[in-house]
Amino acid sequence: MKTLITGATGQLGNLVVTHLLNHLPARDIAVSVRTPAKAADLAAKGIDVRHGNFDELALMTDAFKDVETALIISGEADNATRIAQHRIAVDAAKAAGVKHLVYTSIIDPRVDADFTYSAIHLDTENYIKESGLDYTLLRNSFYADLLLAGVPHALETGNFGAPAGDAKITYIPRNDLAEAAAAVLANPHAHTNKTYDLTGNAAVTHTEIASYIAAASGKQVTFVDLPAEVHLDILNSFGLPDHLIEALAGLYVGAKKGDYEKVSPDIAKLLGRPAQSVEAFIKNALAP
């Protein structure tokens, strides 16, 4: 029986595979991807590459065959689509005989959260619990990696902008979340029916983040608290889908209410060490 990772050609999924190879031989790992040709590098390592699609129950059921533990990584779509996709993935796993599901959720999933994607994760968590399968829920905080999108503009203009006010957010590097997921997949029985809040080791403001960028770059960088409408205009200028713009705008609304400032010790329990700090993450990212 194998351990399977969905979305393995995505940024998080690929990192999970990398870390899982430190625990399991490649022959014991399978991946489910929409485009198998894009996973040729994984196949070359001896990993079992399977064709899967959360829109197709039969295809996903086939992808989950001979799998004992599976990681379901949330996809990218509007709420209604993703809720339906995740339910298909859970149904397929159960039909194929998967014993244990690990799911990448979000901190404090609520149906009424300003971060609108939160409702997707609450529905999926509940659906997994109702399935009767063993589960582990990884409630991930927001990727520190997302902060890097604003760095080029900050270095060019000296302004690091976001509609964040003095909100504190427990940003955490994607790599740490991937390593934690791999640790769970490598020993799922130790994490049966457990829920982990995976946050950074501190809640930081965007003023602090701007200071980290300044220190790492040697340039003058100041946080600019953007009006919400200006932030929306910027997001729209990138051509992002409406559901993503709504979610990103809501993230900061919720953060200002204190939704994402609670620090949890769970990541250290899974990694055996604290998560990399946002300051260290930015310093490493900007190192020459």
In tens, the pLDDT along 52-74 reads 999 999 999 999 999 999 999 99
- Angle at which helix 278-285 crosses helix 206-217, to 10 degrees, equals 40
SS (H, E, C) 216-262: HHCCCCEEEECCHHHHHHHHHHCCCCHHHHHHHHHHHHHHHCCCCCC
The arithmetic mean of pLDDT across residues 136-162, rounded, is 96
Closest CA to 2 of 70, 103, 52, 91: 70
Q: Indicate if the pLDDT at residue 258 is higher than 90.
A: yes
Q: Indicate if the pLDDT at residue 152 is higher than 90.
A: yes
pLDDT category of residue 225 using cuts at 50, 70 and 90: very high
pLDDT category of residue 75 using cuts at 50, 70 and 90: confident
pLDDT category of residue 285 using cuts at 50, 70 and 90: very high
> Which domains, and CATH codes, for the chain?
2-140+174-198 (3.40.50.720)
**Burial zone of 129 (CB within 10 Å; 0-12 exposed, 13-18 middle, 19+ buried):** middle
Q: Indicate if the pLDDT at residue 288 is higher than 90.
A: no
Q: What is the pTM of this model?
A: 0.96
Share of the chain above pLDDT 90, in %: 95
The arithmetic mean of pLDDT across residues 176-187, rounded, is 98
Q: Indicate if the pLDDT at residue 182 is higher than 90.
A: yes
pLDDT at 64: 98
pLDDT at 238: 84
- Average pLDDT, whole number, for the chain? 96
Which residues are paired to 261 by β-bridges?
none
Q: How many helices (H) and strands (E) does the chain have?
A: 12, 9
pLDDT category of residue 76 using cuts at 50, 70 and 90: confident
How many residues appear in the chain? 288
Q: Indicate if the pLDDT at residue 276 is higher than 90.
A: yes
Please state, in angstroms and rounded to a whole number, the distance separating the CA atoms of residues 25 and 105.
Answer: 27
Please state, in angstroms and rounded to a whole number, the distance separating the CA atoms of residues 36 and 70.
Answer: 18
Bigger pLDDT: 236 or 109? 109
**3-class DSSP assignment, residue 263:** coil
Q: Indicate if the pLDDT at residue 188 is higher than 90.
A: yes
